[in-house]
Amino acid sequence: MKIGIGNDHVAVDFKYKVKDYLEELGHEVVDFGTDSEERTDYPKYGKNVAESIVKGEVDKGILICGTGVGISLSANKVKGIRAVVCSEPYTAKLSRQHNNTNILAFGSRVIGIDLAKMIVNEWVSTEFEGGRHQNRINMIDDIETEYLC
C-alpha cells in the first residue's frame, strides 16, 4: 500500500519510527513532513495528507501530533476523509472493518512507539466489511454534502 504520513513538530522522531515500521511491513511511504522540530501548525500536514488521498496519490494516511486530535480534525474537514484517533489496536481494527477509515492518527505524547506499531499493524492489515456499514458511511457522506458551502 502507498501511505502518506504527516506530523507536526512534536512528533518528528516518532514519525521516523512509524515510517521505518511501515517500510519493514512492505509499504511505500510518502512523507509530507514536517522534518523540523521548529514550532509549526498541524492543520497544514493534516490537509496535505488528506488531499493526497482524495486525489488518489496515496491509498491511505497516517497523522501524528501531540495528541492526534488537532491533525485528525483538520484532515476530517476534507470531503471524503474519515480519520480516526486511536490509542489502542481494537478501535484501529474496528475503524477499518466498520467505518472504512482512510486516515489513522495518534499522539506522540499519548502512546509509546511499541503500542503505535501494534495499532498501525492492525489498521493497515484490516479490510472494510462493507454491507450495512457502507449504508452508514453513505449517511455520513450525506451530512458532509448537506453542510458544504
Q: Which is nearer to ligand RB5, 4 or 70 (CB)?
A: 70
Please, are residues 23 and 5 in contact by the beta-carbon 8 Å criterion?
no
For residue 43, state whether it binds ligand RB5 (rule: CB under 6 A): no
Cβ neighbors of 54 (< 8 A, separation 6 or more) are: 78, 79, 80, 81
- The CA–CA distances, whole Å, from 60 to 66, 86, 101, 112, 132 equal 20, 15, 9, 22, 22
Q: Any catalytic annotation for residue 149? A: no
For residue 65, state whether it binds ligand RB5 (rule: CB under 6 A): yes
- Determine the interface stretch with ligand RB5 among 22-30, 64-72, 96-104, 130-138 (rule: CB under 6 A): 64-72
For residue 116, state whether it binds ligand RB5 (rule: CB under 6 A): no
Which residues would be at the binding site for ligand RB5 (CB under 6 A)?
8, 10, 42, 65-67, 69-70
Catalytic center residues:
65, 98
